[in-house]
């Protein structure tokens, strides 16, 4: 039986595309490149416009409270749910003082809000925000590729911030740095031939090791790198700082009042008695 030319036609195999990220940056605030048929400045529509306006509100809230930038990798939905619960518990785990007589109880503050962002639209919102320096944003995200999230804190409370940073290290411990031998061993195992050629490889559940890292913070238009974020977390509460400032300002007046009160008593009498004796001795020498 003769085969037709159509049945003997060979279909070329499809090219295998290399898997990898579509871009090599996490967050870009550079001005967009002009594209033919698109006018600048760019305006979003539909769902992107909603996200843009939402991100602008998040950035605007950083004028009174810090906004943390977080890099996350290999996170599942269950791990994100657990992370949000841990952050909520850590925000309430701060030293509380019982209100004194006549003072009102402290009002309940809203909880921190963790938002997984779309970096391209969030970068456009940062670029359009007037008080944010784009150079500082580029320095914060330099060398970072992957997904980002932002954590909006309700107030600037250093003890609360310190508790949240500790929760990050406890919930998602930092990954240990692999040595060159370990990397080479993993590469050899990946490229090695199967133990039983021709047999179907058993499917195994992949062990996901999530990664979470604080890239910096945004507060009142200023970008804080991780070192400064840790320094802010070591400060006292604003109420404690106010009390210390009031104490420093009132200490000279308090010392003066103590000196005058002491002089009005026995010290003043002893001072006058000493002055009297000195005058009498001087008068005797002159005579």
- The CATH number linked to 164 is 3.30.70.1730
Predicted local confidence at residue 225, as pLDDT: 93
Is 186 a member of any domain?
A: no
57 or 8, higher pLDDT = 57
Instruction: State the Cα–Cα distance between residues 69 and 138, nearest whole angstrom.
Output: 13
Say how many domains are in the chain.
Answer: 2
**What's the rounded mean pLDDT across residues 130-136?**
87
Q: Are residues 257 and 230 in the same domain?
A: no
pLDDT of 64 reads 86
| Among the listed residues 28, 63, 65, the one whose alpha carbon sits nearest the alpha carbon of residue 220 | 63
Q: Are residues 59 and 159 in the same domain?
A: yes
Please report which confidence band the pLDDT of residue 51 belongs to, taking 50, 70 and 90 as the band edges: very high
Q: Does residue 227 carry a pLDDT above 80? A: yes
User: Using 50, 70 and 90 to split pLDDT, how confident is the model at 31?
Assistant: confident
pLDDT score, position 180: 84
pTM > 0.85: no
Asked if residue 11 belongs to a domain, the reply is no
Residue 13 has pLDDT above 90, yes or no: no
**C-alpha triplet 77, 225, 130: angle, nearest 5°:** 90
Confidence of residue 224 (pLDDT cuts 50, 70, 90): very high
Strands 147-152 and 67-73: antiparallel
Question: What is the model's pLDDT at position 113?
Answer: 93
When pLDDT is cut at 50, 70 and 90, the band that residue 217 belongs to is very high
Same domain, 90 and 212: yes
- Strand ranges for the chain from DSSP E: 67-73, 113-116, 147-152, 211-219, 222-224
- Nearest alpha-carbon partner for 157 in 115, 100, 111: 111
The per-residue pLDDT of the chain, averaged, comes to 77
Close Cβ partners of 61 (under 8 Å, ≥ 6 residues apart): 67, 152
The more confidently predicted of residues 94 and 7 is 94
pLDDT band at residue 258, thresholds of 50, 70 and 90? low
> Are residue 229 and residue 249 in the same domain, yes or no?
no
Selected residue with higher pLDDT from 193 and 229: 229
Q: Give 154: exposed, middle or buried? Use CB within 10 Å, 0-12, 13-18, 19+.
A: middle
Range of 131's domain? 47-94+110-176+208-235
Tell whether 150 and 246 lie within a shared domain. Answer: no
Where does the pLDDT of residue 54 fall: very low under 50, low under 70, confident under 90, or very high at 90 and above?
Answer: very high
CA distance 128 to 123: 9
| Predicted local confidence at residue 148, as pLDDT | 92
Contacts (Cβ under 8 Å, ≥6 apart) of 222: 133, 136
pLDDT score for 177: 77
Same domain, 167 and 214: yes
Same domain, 222 and 269: no
Does residue 130 share a domain with residue 219? Answer: yes
Note whether residue 148 is domain-resident.
yes
Same domain, 249 and 264: yes
Q: Residue 16: pLDDT above 50? A: no
> Residue 176 burial by CB count (10 A; 0-12/13-18/19+): exposed, middle or buried?
exposed
């Amino acid at each position: 039986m003769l085969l037709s030319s159509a049945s003997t036609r060979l279909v070329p195999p499809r090219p295998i595309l290399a898997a990898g990220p579509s871009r090599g940056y996490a967050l870009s605030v550079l001005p967009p490149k002009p594209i033919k048929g698109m006018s600048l400045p760019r305006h979003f529509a539909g769902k992107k416009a909603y996200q843009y306006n939402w991100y602008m509100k998040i950035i605007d809230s950083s004028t009174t409270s810090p906004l943390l930038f977080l890099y996350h990798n290999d996170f599942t939905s269950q791990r994100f749910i657990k992370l949000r619960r841990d952050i909520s518990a850590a925000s309430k785990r701060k030293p509380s003082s019982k209100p004194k007589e006549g003072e009102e109880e402290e009002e309940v503050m809203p909880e921190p809000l963790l938002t997984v962002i779309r970096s391209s639209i969030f970068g456009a919102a940062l670029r359009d925000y007037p008080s944010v320096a784009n150079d500082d944003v580029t320095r914060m995200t330099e060398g970072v590729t992957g997904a980002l999230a932002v954590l909006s804190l309700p107030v600037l409370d250093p003890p609360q911030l310190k508790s949240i940073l500790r929760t990050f290290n406890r919930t998602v411990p930092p990954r240990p740095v692999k040595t060159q031998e370990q990397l080479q061993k993993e590469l050899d195992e990946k490229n090695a031939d199967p133990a039983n050629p021709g047999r179907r490889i058993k499917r195994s559940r992949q062990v996901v090791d999530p990664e979470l890292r604080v890239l910096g913070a945004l507060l009142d238009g200023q970008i804080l790198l991780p070192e400064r974020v840790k320094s802010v977390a070591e400060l006292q509460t604003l109420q404690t700082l106010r009390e210390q400032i009031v104490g420093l300002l009132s200490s000279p007046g308090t010392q003066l009042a103590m000196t005058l009160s002491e002089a009005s008593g026995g010290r003043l009498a002893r001072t006058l008695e000493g002055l009297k004796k000195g005058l009498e001795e001087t008068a005797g020498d002159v005579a």
